[in-house]
Amino acid sequence: MNDQNKQTQSDFLEETIKKRPVNKQKVAKRMIEVSLLAILFGAIACATIVLLSPVLENMIFSEEEEETESEVAEMDFAEDSLEVVAEEIAPEDMLVEDTEEVSEDTVVIVEETITAQQIVEEEAQLFADLAASCSGWLVTVRGVYNNESWLESSLVSTSESSGAIVTESDTELYILTNSGDMSRADYIELTFVDGTSAVGAIRGEDSNTGLMILSVSKGDLSAETLEEISTAVFSSSNLKSNMGSRVLAVGNPMGVSGSYVSGTITAMGIEVNSWDINYKVLMTDIYASQSPQGFLVNLRGYIVGVLCNDYNSGDTGNILSALGITELKKTIELMYNGSSIPRLGIQGIDVTAAANEGEGVPLGAYVTDVLVDSAAMSAGIQVGDIVTAIDETEITGMSELTSCILSHQAGEAVSVTICRLSQGAYREIELHIVLL
């Protein structure tokens, strides 16, 4: 029995559990169901996207447009205000051809290019305005001559010059002009800025330069004319800054009354000898009449010279020159005060420092010529003498001699000290001379 039980137990333990067989038909059916569900879900998803796409697109792009509109509004606001940016700007970026009109609330700083034509036009306008400002003191001077012809008919001729109102008194105006033949005229007609004319009288005359002072009564002029006219102002003609400066010639520089022409002072070192005075000549680059009349003014409208081409060389006959006003000023003052101009009657040059130190020549005014029938000739002054003193005033050159003589009056006696070379040495001589 035991053997039978063991056999039964052994049979039980060796029993094998077999897997359930796969039902292929059922699996295939399940796969088909899943596939159909997937296709159905995909179709639903596509339909949903197609239907909802316009709505989503409107929502997305609406937000972008709102952001863009907000940004543009901020840019417009920034352009309406001025923003100062501290950054370096290239020079070429600062130049623009034209300026633009802007609103009052906007400040725009621009640089405008300046062309050569603009420079020429601005300079022409500057000189036109300058000439207009000088017209108040400019006067047209005419000498009128009445002559009887062989037919016993009256012939009237005139000579014309330009004048400047240099000063005035309570009752009279004083006009500086070139005398020409005015002293022989039957009468002198003066025409002022507003066209008003009056008859003038000779107040004083300078035989050295041919300049003359005329006077006219204010009572012969209307209140309107007196309101229109002005008085000229003098400026130093010896300033170093005058060299190369721009000037304007007014009056009659071109041979036509009322003409004017601009240019540059090109030379100031020219000196001409006259009786008891040496004049400085201002030469310009202006081509003008060989016999100009008028005045040279600086850019402030001040007179620096009186037009005069008498001392030009042959090849510069038409180059405009002027006598410096500084050397003429004292003579002009004597003339309008009605005083005669005192004369010693010499021409001279300065003794140089080299001659004084190297050869022992005394400093003073070295006499190069003596005027016939002058006070100097009557007193015995000779060519080669050196004037070293007048009264108590030391004379070191012609400028001191001129100032000293013009400080006296014609007919006044002065003591003149000269040095004369005798037997190899200079001997001092004192002369008593009456100025003519």
Minimum mean pLDDT range among 90-99, 193-202, 260-269: 90-99
Tens-place pLDDT, residues 30-76: 777 767 777 777 777 766 666 666 655 555 545 444 444 444 333 33
Contact 364, 386 (CB under 8 A): yes
Q: What is the pLDDT of residue 59?
A: 58
The model's pTM: 0.72
Distance CA 72, CA 125 (A): 49
What is the tens place of the pLDDT at every residue in 409-420? 999 999 999 999
Query: What would the pLDDT profile of 325-361 be if each residue is shown by its tens digit?
Result: 999 999 999 999 999 999 999 999 999 999 999 999 9
What rounded mean pLDDT belongs to the chain?
84
Find the helix or strand (DSSP H, E) in which 154 lies.
strand 154-168
For residue 67, the model assigns a pLDDT of 46
Cβ-Cβ contacts under 8 Å for 276 (sequence gap 6 or more):
208, 343, 344, 345, 346, 347, 401, 402, 405
Is the Cα torsion angle 194, 198, 203, 207 positive or negative in sign?
A: positive
Let me know: does 379 contact 431? Beta carbons within 8 Å.
Answer: yes
Q: Classify 274 as helix, strand or coil.
A: strand
| Residue 328 near residue 306 (C-beta atoms within 8 A) | yes
All residues at 6 or more sequence positions from 372 whose CB lies less than 8 Å from its CB, including other chains: none
Q: Cα torsion for 414, 436, 205, 227, to the nearest 10°? A: 40
User: Is the Cβ–Cβ distance between 341 and 406 less than 8 Å?
Assistant: yes
